[in-house]
Amino acid sequence: MKEVINKVKEISNNDFLVEILEKRQGDPASLIANNAKILQNTPFKPLYNNLDTIIKSALAWEEHLLKFQ
């Protein structure tokens, strides 16, 4: 998670505050994901596979949405 947060800060050029809180009751100690099975068994293919590109696309979409508020 820290990698994603730091990358968003870097790409957005915005050093926002992040609070790191204690784990809540019921939260797992860790999460591990592998998308290989869904990629093999469905026609789904991700549009982006690079964290920088994903973040840039998400930020551009959010900026686009702000025009309508």
Question: What integer is the mean pLDDT of 46-59?
Answer: 96
User: How is residue 47 annotated by DSSP?
Assistant: S
In percent, the amount of the chain with pLDDT more than 90 equals 97
Q: What is the pLDDT of residue 57?
A: 98
Q: What are the structural domain ranges in the chain?
A: 1-13+37-69
What are 3-35's pLDDT values in tens digits? Answer: 999 999 999 999 999 999 999 999 999 999 999
Confidence of residue 46 (pLDDT cuts 50, 70, 90): very high
CA distances from 41 to 21, 34, 50, 52 (A): 37, 13, 22, 27
Token representation of residue 56: 């840039």
DSSP 15-46: -------PPPTT--S------HHHHHHSS---
Residues 49, 53: Cα–Cα separation, whole Å: 8
